[in-house]
Structure 1
Amino acid sequence: MFIIAKTEMTEFIKLSQNWNAEPNAPNPHLELKKSVLELRFFLNPYQFEIYNEGDKGCLQFSDYSRFRFTDINDEAWYKGECRFSTLAPSWGEFYLVQGDFKEQQETTPWQYHVQHDAALNNFLFYFRDCAFECSAKNWSFKLVS
């Protein structure tokens, strides 16, 4: 885990080490399994040679309270239209966001699983055509078929 960007109020810890989403068509989709939320997507075989085209990754969020997909894409991020455009170190990565999550700057509604607990971790994953956000206690990554 590397802290790669920090402002006075917001800190981004890059969690995607040795893996990332396919840059052109990651096709992210969710599966809800009781208190676990699974986010599945195609992995990036161009940046990481250990993966083949069509390999899928799965992020599992345990004890999650809420999630959402926003319509921020790579073009909007580079144009500075995303609430983290000038703060997040890089597009296309998976982060733990600590400190000010700047929720008031994003109007996309949350999907709630349970009442939100502000003490939970806030996760952010930038895909090509959207961003995924989730508040959860823990996360894990695995390769799936």
Structure 2
Amino acid sequence: MLKHATNHIHKRCASFKKNRKRKKLSWINKIFGTKKVEGIPTRKIDYIQITKDWNADPVSPEIELKVDGIDLIMDIYLNHFQFNKYQEGDKVKIRFKNCAKYSLNTCNDEGYSYGQYRTNHNELPWGEFYEIKSGLDKELPNPIEKIQTSNSDRKHFIFFFKDETFECLASDYYLDFYNEKVLNQCKKNYNVVLEGKEIGTSKLEKADAPMGVAFGLIEFNGIETPYEFFKEYCLKNNIVINTDDPEFEFIDTKVISELKVLRQDGLEIKGVAGNAITGMKNEGYEISILGISYPFYEEEFPHHVEHYRNMYKSE
């Protein structure tokens, strides 16, 4: 940058930059020690990268953690700068099932690049979300929050954020992508009816606008085990069940002809392909309305259409 300057100025500039970097890293040294970690043994970490077509906001993910029974729920903002399919306000809810313990520590991108963690960038590239298969110990750094005493049969997850690093031991994870603004705009409650009887309500808070699809979680009325309820109904009425997993009480059905969604004024929200159920015990059960025709779709769900259009506004 100063290629026409004298050697003396070059040296002073280099010295200034070096001192500035040292000051910038002083807080890291206070936490992790003053010596750069040298000679980390060569090893191979076997991992699966989860963040392939999405990632956390690179500046301000605004991490929120909440313990739900034996599960840990993480809420973060998504990187809408790099991935065009997301826009400002889009978030992901990551549920870590059967979580034993977790750590959200203060090692940031600079600390990681300077060897202040028990692995390094050559072994495990910074800035992604991974499931560690082998090669990295499960000794989580402080502070550690314990949810359960046993760590056996747990998978190892690690997520690198700009200013923090997250690790946890859990049985599995589930992703739920959503937009905070759209969710707040879903103020209508729709009645979910099966064979003329109301079984619950839904806000139809999610959508695939181009396909005319609206779907959302059902708040059930007096149905304690929705999995058993829908499974029994499908078997009794010869309705095909695409997926049935009793262990997780997961069910995914074909179209149920007698399953209807009604607006509060009694108008049926109807799709040409019908309605179906998908879900599992710990995540809830969703009703999907498939193939709602336009222009009715845009009139009934303007927030879903607006959200879809905003995704491609810059293109």
Which bracket does the TM-score occupy, shorter chain normalised? 0.7 to 0.9
Q: Deviation at 1:9?
A: 5.2
Letter in 2 for 1:98: K
Report matched runs for 1:43-122 at 5 Å: 43-85=78-120, 86-88=122-124, 90-104=125-139, 107-122=141-156
Q: Check the 8 A contact 1:66/1:116 in 2, yes or no.
A: no
Letter in 1 for 2:109: D
Q: Deviation at 1:69?
A: 0.5
Higher helix share: 2
Q: Deviation at 1:93?
A: 0.5
One of 57, 62, 71 as aligned partner of 1:27? 62
One of 67, 74, 77 as aligned partner of 1:42? 77
How many residues align? The count is: 137
CA distance in 2, matches of 1:69, 1:116: 19
Letter in 1 for 2:119: F
Structure number with greater Rg is 2
TM-score normalized with structure 2 length: 0.41
Q: Check the 8 A contact 1:21/1:127 in 2, yes or no.
A: yes
Unaligned residue ranges in structure 1 (runs of 5+): 1-6
Report percent identity of matched pairs: 28
Question: RMSD over aligned Cα, in angstroms?
Answer: 1.8
> Where does structure 1 differ by over 3 angstroms across 4 or more consecutive aligned residues?
none
SS of match in other structure, 1:64: coil
SS of match in other structure, 2:110: helix
Higher strand share: 1
One of 43, 51, 54 as aligned partner of 1:16? 51
CA distance in 2, matches of 1:108, 1:121: 19
Q: Deviation at 1:78?
A: 1.7
TM-score normalized with structure 1 length: 0.85
SS of match in other structure, 1:76: helix
Q: Check the 8 A contact 2:70/2:148 in 1, yes or no.
A: no
CA distance in 2, matches of 1:32, 1:96: 20
Unaligned residue ranges in structure 2 (runs of 5+): 1-41, 181-315
